[in-house]
A = this chain, B = another copy of it.
C-alpha cells in the first residue's frame, strides 16, 4: 500500500519548519483536525482514513531524491536538509477509531509532536482523512436510505484518480455497502467484488438475446443489463434465457435508466408471472440517498441499489469543511480569532454519554458513564494495536444506529 511521498507537503510547511528548527521551536505542539460544519441535511460523520494517515506517519522519510529536490529550491539551507535526512515522526496520535460516528468540532485526529513534525504532516493528514470520512459518511446515508436492502459501489471511474477510487471503495464498505466493482479495492482490502455487464457488451454482439446467452452460459447467477435498446424487450429476453438455462442461471436483471420504479414493477410482475420470483432487480443510474429513499418509500420492488458518482464524488459535498489547527504549543493553549473562522484552543477529548457528546479537556472523564472517543493510535511514532484494526471490525463499529446528537462544548475551553 503506497502512501504519499515525503514531498506531499505544501511548501510553507517546510519553510515554517526550517524557521522552527532555526529558532529552537521544537517544543511539543498539539494539532487537531476537525470538521467545522456538516453538509446540508447531514446528521453525522463516520470517521475513516486513519489507517493510511498512520502508515504515512510511521513510514515518513525524506529520501535522497526528495532532499536533492529540496536543495534545488531557493528556500532551504544545508543544515535543514540534514535535519530532514534524519527526520522521523516521533509523536503521539490520538483519534476516534475508524468507523466511529463523529460530529463537527470533534477531532478526527489529534497529533502531538515537536512543532516542526506536527506542522510538516499537515497536508497529508487532512488529505488522507477528510476524503475517506466524506465518502463513508455519504455512503452511510445511502445505506440508511436503503433500509436493509443491499447497496453496492461501482464509482471507480468517477472518483478523482485511482487512489481516490480505491479508498472510496474501502470507505463505502466501512459504511455498510456490501460489495464493490473495483478489483484492486477487492485485492487490497478484501472487499467482496461484484459486477454485471456493460452496454458495450450487448452492442458488440448487436443481438441482445445472444449477448445475454453468452454471459449466462459462462457465469452462474448472472446479472443481465436490460435497458440497452428497450427495457421491456430486454426483460423479455432475460426471461427467455432464464427459462432456457434453468433456475439460478440468471441471478438478477439491472435497470440503469428511465423511471426506475415503473420499470421495476413491470419487470417484477413479468418475472413473477413467468415463474421467476427469485430473479432479483438491481437498480443503478446516478442514484443518491434521496432517490433511494424515494424508491424505498414508493415501495419499488428493487432488491439491490448500485451507487457510483453520488457517493465517491458527492455533488452535495465535494469536500468536508475541515481544518488542522494548532491548539497547544509548549503547554499553553492557542487559538486564532480570524473573522468567521476562529479556532478553539486546548488539547481535547470527546466524552460520549448516552444522550450527548461533550467536547472537553483531555484528562479525567466528566462523569462515570462518559466514554472517551479519542484513543491512543500511535506512541513515539509507532502504531499501537488500536491503530491496526481489521476492516471487518471497523465496519461493525460503523453499523450502529446513526443519527444526530447533541454536542456540547466545555465552556472552559474558550478562554
A residues with a Cβ closer than 8 A to B are 2, 4-5, 7-16, 18-20, 22-23, 25, 29, 31, 69-70, 73, 75, 115, 119, 122-124, 126-128, 130-131, 154, 156-168, 181-184, 186-187, 193-206, 214-215, 218-219, 227-231, 256-258, 285, 309, 313-315, 318-319, 324-326, 329, 332, 334-341, 343
Contacts and interface: CB of A to CB of B under 8 A. Distances in A.
A87 to B, nearest CB: 14
A198 B160 contact: no
Nearest 3 interchain pairs by C-beta:
A11-B195, A12-B195, A4-B162
A164 B181 CA distance: 21
Contacts of A128: 161-162
A339 B227 contact: yes
Nearest to A162: B4
A47 B319 CA distance: 23
Given A127-B157, A204-B329, A214 B319 contact: no
A119 B4 contact: no
Given A257-B338, A336-B203, A338-B256, A183 B11 contact: yes
Contacts of A13: 195, 198
B126 A157 contact: yes
Oligomer copy total: 2
A219 B74 CA distance: 9
Given A193-B11, A206-B334, A338-B228, A161 B163 contact: yes
A204 B25 contact: yes
A157 B318 contact: no
A16 B198 contact: yes
Nearest to A258: B339
A130 B70 CA distance: 31
A413 to B, nearest CB: 15
Contact of A160 (B31, B156, B160, B329): B160
Contact of A339 (B31, B119, B124, B257): B257
Given A157-B122, A309-B318, A228 B8 contact: no
A162 B56 CA distance: 11
Contacts of A9: 182-184
Contact of A8 (B8, B12, B156, B256): B156
B200 A119 contact: yes
B12 A197 contact: yes
A23 B341 CA distance: 62
A345 to B, nearest CB: 9
B309 A161 contact: no
Nearest to A230: B337
Given A163-B162, A198-B119, A203-B336, A183 B7 contact: yes
A16 B201 contact: yes
Nearest to A204: B329
